[in-house]
Structure 1
Amino acid sequence: MVDTCAGKDIVIAIDPSYVPKSGKTTNGLGYFWSGRASKAKWGLEVSGIAAIDIDNHTAFYIEAVQTPSNLSTTTLLEHYTNVLVARKELNNTYKR
């Protein structure tokens, strides 16, 4: 869809968002940064990935990816980067 509807200049963006969630048994629960509260809060984090069409001033939503709460071997920035690199290798939508 991006290739057929977007202009020639696109960038890929990722936007992590905090999702409040109570309970103890939901997979991925942990403390994540909430920009609205300006602090880490208990819940989930989901990262929205979009192709931003510079020419037409719009964006195409591609995918949402849940952030794991137990990132013991990587930082959050490395996790976000790995998510984008893995999707780039799997999907030609990211290429022009």
Structure 2
Amino acid sequence: MDASFVPKSGTKTDGVGQFWNGSQSRSEQGLELSSLAVMSWAGRHIFPVSVVQTQPRLDRADRLKQYRDQLQSLLAQRHSWLVRHLKAVVADGQYARVMFMNVVDGEGYAFVTKIQNNA
């Protein structure tokens, strides 16, 4: 699970807002896409299964709720398929929050992430 930044100027595109651009190490105007993928360790493949545009909001907590809702939706939609194949959820350090850990732990999966130094 990770988010991707797409630079975008203008005001007509729905969802344009200030998002973190990791390649520039700063917040910039553009779009953000939150993506979930399934990794195959044996075949070393990644299969994208959910991509959702993040809606700009005033506070970071609301964006984290959007990411959490996307994860919960995927787990609910594909639960029977995931039970056989999913072993852990791997996510960027920004997802290392109690709300994510509770969702993943509640479903019985391991949560692999890098804890931020201010956590």
TM-score normalised per structure 2: 0.61
Larger RCO (CA within 8 A; separation ≥ 6): 1
Check whether the contact 2:57–2:63 (CA below 8 A) recurs between aligned residues: no
Q: Does 1:94 align with 2:68?
A: no
Superposed CA offset, 1:31-77 (max 9, x none): 00001000000010001211011222221111211001026594433
- The alignment yields a C-alpha RMSD, in angstroms, of 2.0
Check whether the contact 2:5–2:20 (CA below 8 A) recurs between aligned residues: yes
Paired residue secondary structure (2:73): helix
Separation of aligned partners in 1, 2:24 and 2:46 = 26
Equivalent of 1:69 in 47, 56, 59: 56
Matches for 1:1-96 after TM superposition, within 5 Å: 14-70=1-57, 74-92=61-79, 93-96=81-84
What runs of 5+ residues in structure 1 fail to find an aligned partner? 1-13
The list of structure 1 runs, each at least 4 consecutive aligned residues, that deviate by more than 4 angstroms after superposition, is none
- 1 or 2, which has the higher helix percentage? 2
- Which AA in structure 2 matches 1:79? Q
Separation of aligned partners in 2, 1:57 and 1:50 = 13
Identity among equivalent pairs (%): 34
Check whether the contact 2:19–2:29 (CA below 8 A) recurs between aligned residues: yes
The Cα of 1:28 is off from its aligned counterpart by 0.8
- 1 or 2, which has the higher strand percentage? 1
